[in-house]
Amino acid sequence: MTSPDTATQEIRIERNIRIPMRDGVTLSADVYRPKADGRYPAIVVRTPYMKNTKAAHENGSYYASYGYAVVYVDVRGRCDSDGEFVPYFNEAQDGYDCIEWAAAQPWCTGDVGTMGGSYLARIQWLTALTKPPHLRAMICAVTPSDPFVEWPTGVPTPHHLCWLYMTSGRVMQNVDVIDWESIYWHLPLATMDELTGKPSAVWREELEHPYLDDWWKRICYQDKFDQIDLPVLHISGWYDDEQVGTPLNFAKMTREAASEKARRSQKLLMGPWTHQINTSAKIGDIDFGPQSLIDLKGYQRRWFDYWLKGMDNGIMQEPPVRIFVMGENRWRDEQEWPLARTEWTRFYLHSQGRANSRFGDGWLSTELPASGGEADADRYTYDPANPVPFITDMTSSQIGGPDDYAAIERRDDVLVYSTEPLPEEVEVTGPIKMELYAASSAVDTDFMVKLLDVWPNGYAQRLTDGMVRARFREGMDRPSLIEPGRIYKYEIDCWNTSHLFKKGHRIRVEIASSAFPKYDRNLNTGAPLGQSAEMAVAEQVIFHDPDHPSAIVLPLIPR
């Protein structure tokens, strides 16, 4: 049986159907299904962003016209649903109850899939851990990770307060009327929420748990893939501000899922997209071409046609990984992630002690430092009152993109290391890691790393970045302060990319101690996180000598 290429069903829509939860709370759902009587596979979508938006209507109508019953649900405490909205903490059991309710309806075959992006994706994983008997497959897009994977700082990011404000109460709040930039500068973080005019109990409670403790572990899923026995389609973009979770989830499910069948039933799709996947071929100044946009609905429908209808449409015979190689601007199929043919290559930091700014003497090469020591180490001053800017929108809709950092690289508290102009093309595809040897005058501080493509015209295009908070160097569950002046080795996860550096371009690495407001400012005092406004200036030293070979590890792909 093959999937029809055109919609064949007239549809009906039933509004505000009440779904009972096990504790007596009822959730509100809109159900889109074919008008013709019959039994159809169900797709459950649960959202805190209103079930009756234009996008939800188009999505529900689309799948219903192809023979699905689509159940759009307002999550607990949001919009038309009863109860109290506490992000993530009720979603596992509520998801179970919604799936099993849909499976029991007279219009359902008993085969249920789930889909959605961002919050809607993470709650699918939490629900999967409860093992709903009728859940057959998931589509998880731009999936948030466990606590502190994206923001290894011990405290919520400033932009998270914007999201909490937007989802406070039952209806969507207008974030555009708030001066977020001024709010993000406020200290201490613990009272930042007061400036919105709507104090947030969630914000306050999260700040009371500044490391990975049992409170947070209740909503972790990335350490439990061995309990999940489901096929999953993983989708994200290289510039998704929650990108790190999607390749990580795919890779771990292919290794750790509960059955060999599930391990073989994962697919990964990564485009040149932001958190709003597949909506524009251009991000900022960078145009990835019309081929960067695909028929995503059609691809997702093929997934459900196979797993929910049993259609032999060939999707599982296709390679499991499909990525868009930026720079080259073309799609490519692969067999795994990371790629088996990767040549993990260290690009070492070098300078004569003055890598400050793009006008300094820092350089990057695959040659080990042959000499040097503390005399050739690079130094800069990190002042939390004057942090290095991270280029971003101020709301939580999208954090960062392929922005030009050339102007920011004029600062002396940004160390810059670049290769010579490349004599030939170099492809970097995979996870990026930094091995950094550093010392600080402070008892706690941050180190930020950014990977960039420098064009011949000087445009310094951000590709990806990462950070470490010194007190969490041994893990988010084991905070400990550092000894001033002591050299530590930090391993920094800089997420993932797929990018072709063209001939004549340069590979560049930036080192700094702030990326504001993407991350909160480390105040360098070692005080309890989020509770203080007292600052200290930190003197930072970055080492790159034979005993301390600081390097970024790049996944080079032979061409």
The one catalytic residue in 80, 240, 446, 453 is: 240
Going by pLDDT thresholds of 50, 70 and 90, the confidence category of residue 9 is confident
Confidence check: pLDDT of 542 > 70: yes
Percentage above 70 pLDDT, the chain = 99
In this structure, the number of other CB atoms found within 10 A of the CB of residue 524 comes to: 25
> Amino acid letter at 62?
Y
pLDDT of residue 179: 96
Mean pLDDT for 388-417 is 96
> Average per-residue pLDDT in the chain?
97
Instruction: Report the length, in residues, of the chain.
Output: 559
Beta bridge partner(s), residue 161: none
Residue 320 CA to residue 337 CA, distance in Å, equals 9
Residue 408 CA to residue 406 CA, distance in Å, equals 6
Q: Which residues touch 114 (CB under 8 Å, ≥6 apart)?
A: 43, 44, 45, 46, 95, 99, 124, 127, 135, 137, 138, 139
How does pLDDT run across 337-375, given as a tens digit for each residue? 999 999 999 999 999 999 999 999 999 999 999 877 777
Going by pLDDT thresholds of 50, 70 and 90, the confidence category of residue 4 is low
> Amino acid letter at 439?
A
98 near 71, Cβ under 8 Å?
A: yes
Peptide bond into 338 cis (omega under 30): yes
Mean pLDDT for 185-205 is 97
Mean pLDDT for 268-297 is 97
Q: Could you tell me the CA-to-CA distances from 558 to 71, 138, 321, 418, 505 in Å, in that order?
A: 46, 34, 18, 21, 18
Mean pLDDT for 33-49 is 97
Model pTM above 0.85: yes
The one catalytic residue in 159, 160, 234, 275 is: 275
DSSP-based three-state secondary structure for 55: helix
DSSP-based three-state secondary structure for 438: strand
Confidence check: pLDDT of 379 > 60: yes
What are phi and psi for residue 555, nearest 5 degrees?
Answer: -85, 90
How does pLDDT run across 319-335, given as a tens digit for each residue? 999 999 999 999 999 99
The burial of 115, by beta-carbon neighbours within 10 Å (0-12 exposed, 13-18 middle, 19 or more buried), is given as buried
pLDDT of residue 406: 98
Half-sphere exposure of 382 (CA within 13 A, CB side): 33
DSSP-based three-state secondary structure for 463: strand
Mean pLDDT for 489-493 is 98
3 near 301, Cβ under 8 Å?
A: yes
pLDDT of residue 5: 63
How does pLDDT run across 156-174, given as a tens digit for each residue? 999 999 999 999 999 999 9
The burial of 263, by beta-carbon neighbours within 10 Å (0-12 exposed, 13-18 middle, 19 or more buried), is given as middle
Mean pLDDT for 203-209 is 97
Confidence check: pLDDT of 7 > 80: no
DSSP-based three-state secondary structure for 267: strand
The one catalytic residue in 118, 168, 265, 550 is: 118
DSSP classification of residue 326: B
DSSP-based three-state secondary structure for 494: strand
pLDDT of residue 316: 97
Domain boundaries along the sequence of the chain: 11-147+229-334, 343-556
Q: Is 213 a catalytic residue?
A: no
Q: Is 118 a catalytic residue?
A: yes
CATH topology of domain 11-147+229-334: Rossmann fold (3.40.50)
What is the H or E stretch that residue 299 is in? helix 296-309
CATH 2.60.40.10 fits 343-556, yes or no: no
198 near 459, Cβ under 8 Å?
A: no
pLDDT of residue 216: 97
For strands 321-325 and 266-271, give the pairing: parallel
Give yes or no on whether 11-147+229-334 and 343-556 have one common fold: no
